[in-house]
A and B are shown apart, each in its own frame.
Chain A
C-alpha cells in the first residue's frame, strides 16, 4: 500500500502548493488591484487611523479638517461652510470614498505621499503618530462666499480666476450640498443622505462649474471676434454685414436678432458695435465668412475640445466638427452644438485679460507638510498664446464698450473700467434661456476674470445675461477689487 500512500502524499503537497501560490497571488501579485477596488473601505479605514491634513483657503482658513473622536474611526472629517466649498473640497466618506481635492490630493492629506517619506520615517522611529500634510488652495474665501451668495440658490455656477497666473479664486456651484452629511461615521445615515442627494431633481452634487457643459450663447462671440481679428482681415472698426435677418444657406429658415432688434442701420455695422449690442446676424455672417475651421481653430486655442486638470478634470468644452453653413452660422453665436463649461468661458476672459496668453488653471497653491514646511508650491504655467497681444487689446476695448454702452451696463462698477460680454443661450424650446456673463476687471490691469452661468435664467422668463448673470459677476469682481485696494 505504500506506493499509493506516497502518491497521495505528493497530491497533498500539491494541494498545499496550490494554496501557497494562490496566497501569493491574492496577497502580493493582485493585492494592489484589490486594495484599489472602489468598494474597498479598508484603505479608507486605515487612513482614519491618522490625522488627515487640512484643506486651507488662500486666506488661511481650514475648510476641511480632521478632529479626534472616541469611536472606532479615530478622526472625523468636518467641513466648515460645507456647501460653499463642496465643489472644491469634495467629500471623504467611509461608504462612497473621496472626491475632488480630498481625492486628488489624497496622498498628501493622508500622509502617504513619497515627499513625506523622510518625515514619516522619523515619526515611525520616534513613535509619534504619522500625520497628513495640508493643501493650501488658491480659493479666496471672500470671492467664493460672494459668488455663492450672489447665486442665491439658483441653479448655476461661477468661476473666477487670476488672469495672470491661472489661479482659481472662486469655484462655485449652486445648489450645493453639505459634505459633512456624507463624511460622518454613521454609514446608515451616509447612505440615506446619499440617496436623498441623488434623488434631488436639482442635482446638488453636480459640479456645474467643471463638469457640466452649457451652450455659451453670445459669450462665444468673443471667440468668433478673436478669430476675425486674428485672421488679419478685420479691425474693431471694420464694417461687416448686419442684416435684420440672416437667411440660412439652402434653407427657408433664417437667423433673427435678439427680440427682432435692428443692428445699426440694418445693413452693416462695425465689429465693435456688433459686439457691443451683441448682434446675432453680424456674427452669424462673420462666422460664415471665416468658416468653421477658423472658428474651431480659435476655439481650440482657448481650450475647447480638450480638458483642464485643476487637478480635478473638467469636462471637455465642445466646438463640433463637420458643420454645414447654417450650423456654422449658429455655432458662431454659440448655439447649435457648441457647449462649454463655465471654467472654459472664464479661461477665455482670462486669456483676453492676460494679453492673449492662456494660463493653466489650478486650485492648489501649496502643499504643506505636517511640520508646516512647504513641500511644493505651484508655479503658474503657460498653456499657449491663444491670440496675439494686439488682438487681446482690441478685444479688451470691444468688451469695455459692452459694459460702457452695450448689453453689459448692469456690470458697471463705479471708478473701475470693466470689460465683459453677456450671453443669453437658448437651450430647450419653451424653457427660459441660460443667462451668461464673462468679464474681467480692471480692464487696463486685470486682477480677476469671471464667468457666470445661471441655468434657465433662474426661472425668469425674460431673463438675459445682463439682467441675471451680470450682477453676480459684478458682486464677485467688486469683492476682488475691494481686497486688492
Chain B
C-alpha cells in the first residue's frame, strides 16, 4: 500500500464522517439479566420439585449471582467497551446453570457445612475477580506476545509439577494431574491450557514464515523441512508425557488438538494438519499397545455394557441417565442423576441430559457454539496475527474441550476425565475459563474498537492540492 493512497483513504473516511461502531453494552446487559433469570427460574424449579417450595435462599443466591455478573459487566464497560456482547452472557448462563445443577446434586447427598454449590459460588466470585484482573492488566492483548517464552516455561512447569510431586499430592481418581496441599486442590492443566495457547500464538507469529514457506513438494503436498518439525515434535512429546506420567488422556488430546489447529492457521498449510493427524494416530496406536489404562478406555468405549458393573459403571450409568431423560427430560430435581459417579464434575452433562432432556442438552451445546463462534469471529476481525492466533486458539480450546468431554460421556469417543467449561464443579476449571473469556473479550474489543483519529500530517496541504 503506497502512502499516497493511504492518506487518500484517511481523507475519504473523514469526509464521510464514519459512525462510531456501537458498543453493544446494552445488549450485553439485557442478555445478562436474561441469563440470571434463567438460572433463577431453574433454581426455583429444583426447590419446587424437591420440597414443593420456592427455596428460601433464592434471594441470596439470585443477588449473589446477579451482583457478580453486574460487576463483570461494569468492568467490561470500563475496560473493554467494544467487546463482543454475547461472550459474557453465555459464560454467565453456563456458570449459573452449573451452579443450579450442583445445588440440585447437593440435595441428594447433603454435606454438614459448605455445600458444593456454595463453594462453587465462591469460586465463581474468584473467577469473576480473575476476569476483571485480566481485563485490567491486559490492556492490549499484543503485550502478551512479550511473554511468549515465560508462558511456555510457566505452562510446562504447571504441567510438570503433578508428575514430580509424590502421588499423594497429585493423584485423584487414578490421574496424576492435580496439585494438592492444605485442603486445596488445583488442576494446573486448566491454567496451563491458556498459557500454552499464549505461547503457541507468540511462537508461531515469530516462526510462521519459516514454517509456511520453506518446504519440499512431495505428492502434491508441501512438506516442511526436517528441522522445522522441532516444535510439533515438542508439543507431541508434552502430550505424550501428560498421557504417560499423568494418565491424563483428556488434557493430552486437548493440547495436541489446539497445537495442530493453531499451526494450521498460522501456516495455512494442510500438510501440518496431516502430519499432526499422523502423529496423533501413531501416538494413540502406540499408547494403546503400551498402556493398560489406555487400552481399558478403548475397551469400555467399545463394549460399555460388558463392564456395566465394573470399570464401565460410570459411562453406562451416564447413558442410562441420558436415555431416561428422553426428549424433554424428567424435569429438574425429578431424575436420578446422583446414580452417576462424579455427576458434579466430569459427568455434569448427563445430569443435563436426564433432567432437562435432549432439548436442554442441545440448548446448552448451542450456547457453547455461540461462544466458540463469537471467539472465532473476534479472531477473524482482529487485525494483528498474534491476536488472530490467540483468539482462535482459545476458541478452539473451548470447542475441543466440550467435544472431548461431551463426546466421551455420550460415548461418541473414548471417555477421558476432563471438565465441562463453566458447568462442572471445580475451582481451577472455573477460574481459568473466566480468564479465557476475559482474553477473548479483550481481543474482540480491540477488533471492534474504532481506530484512533488520524494525526494531522505535515504534508496535508500538499495532498489537498493534489485532490483538487
Contacts and interface: CB of A to CB of B under 8 A. Distances in A.
A416 to B, nearest CB: 56
Nearest to B358: A27
A23 B358 contact: yes
Contacts of B357: 27
A122 B396 CA distance: 50
A129 interface: no
A142 B339 CA distance: 44
A195 interface: no
B365 A18 contact: no
A49 B84 CA distance: 47
A39 B265 CA distance: 47
Interface string A17-29: 0111011101110
B361 A27 contact: yes
Contacts of B372: 9, 12, 16
A23 B324 contact: no
B264 A27 contact: no
Interface in A322-367: none
Which of A15, A20, A46 gathers most chain B CB within 10 Å? A15
Contacts of B369: 13, 16
Given A1-B265, A5-B376, A28-B327, A16 B403 contact: yes
A255 to B, nearest CB: 52
A68 B120 CA distance: 36
B271 interface: no
A35 B410 contact: no
A374 interface: no
Contact of A35 (B324, B366, B389, B392): B324
B321 interface: yes
B362 A23 contact: yes
A161 B265 CA distance: 80
B268 interface: yes
B309 A39 contact: yes
A41 interface: yes
B265 A5 contact: yes
Nearest to A17: B369
A377 interface: no
Contacts of B389: 1
A397 B264 CA distance: 96
A37 B305 contact: yes
A6 interface: yes
Contacts of A9: 372-373, 376
A375 interface: no
Interface string B376-403: 1001100001001100100110011011
A38 to B, nearest CB: 9
B324 A42 contact: yes
A43 interface: yes
Given A16-B368, A26-B319, A35-B323, A6 B380 contact: yes
Contacts of B361: 23, 27
A123 interface: no
Nearest to B376: A9
Nearest to B372: A12
B365 A5 contact: no
Interface in A24-81: 24, 26-28, 30-35, 37, 39-43, 45-46, 72
B410 A39 contact: no
Contact of B403 (A19, A30, A31): A19
B320 A34 contact: yes
Interface string B219-237: 0000000000000000000
Contact of B320 (A1, A5, A6, A37): A37
B85 interface: no
B212 to A, nearest CB: 10
Contacts of B336: 42, 45-46
Nearest to A7: B264
Interface residues of B, number: 51
A34 B325 CA distance: 11
Interface residues of A, number: 37
Given A22-B407, A26-B411, A4 B268 contact: yes
A26 B410 contact: yes
A6 B268 CA distance: 11
A70 to B, nearest CB: 15
A382 interface: no
Contacts of B316: 39
Nearest to A41: B339
B261 A42 contact: no
Contact of B339 (A4, A18, A24, A42): A42
B266 interface: yes
A381 to B, nearest CB: 37
Contacts of B366: 16
B214 interface: no
Nearest to A36: B323
Interface string B301-328: 0000100110000001001111111110
Contacts of B365: 16, 19-20, 23
Contact of B266 (A1, A16, A27): A1
Contacts of B406: 19, 23
A8 B392 CA distance: 9
Contacts of B400: 15
Interface in B138-157: none
B305 A39 contact: yes
Contacts of A46: 324, 330, 336
B353 interface: yes
Given A5-B379, A5-B392, A27 B412 contact: no
Contact of B308 (A12, A30, A33, A39): A39
Which of A28, A32, A42, A45 gathers most chain B CB within 10 Å? A42
Contacts of A72: 108
A11 to B, nearest CB: 8
Contact of A1 (B325, B385, B399): B385
A153 to B, nearest CB: 34
Given A22-B407, A27-B353, A8 B396 contact: yes
A2 interface: yes
Nearest to B377: A9
A30 B323 contact: yes
A15 B258 CA distance: 14
Contacts of A39: 305, 308-309, 316
A13 B411 CA distance: 19
Nearest to B395: A12
A156 to B, nearest CB: 35
A4 B326 contact: no
Contacts of B319: 26, 34
Interface in B152-189: none
B388 A19 contact: no
A188 interface: no
Nearest to B357: A27
Contacts of B395: 12
B315 to A, nearest CB: 11
A45 to B, nearest CB: 5
Contacts of A128: none
Nearest to A22: B412
Contacts of B402: 16, 19
Given A12-B372, A15-B400, A16-B403, A43 B324 contact: yes
B36 to A, nearest CB: 25
A1 B383 CA distance: 10
Given A5-B265, A8-B396, A22-B410, A27 B326 contact: yes
- The 4 A-B pairs with the shortest beta carbon distances in the complex, nearest first, are A34-B323, A27-B358, A31-B323, A12-B399
Given A4-B264, A5-B388, A23-B322, 7 more contacts: A1-B268, A9-B373, A13-B369, A34-B320, A34-B322, A39-B309, A45-B339
Interface of B: 108, 261, 264-266, 268, 305, 308-309, 316, 319-327, 330, 336, 339, 353, 357-358, 361-362, 365-366, 368-369, 372-373, 376, 379-380, 385, 388-389, 392, 395-396, 399-400, 402-403, 406-407, 410-412
7 contacts: A1-B385, A12-B372, A12-B396, A22-B412, A35-B323, A40-B320, A40-B323
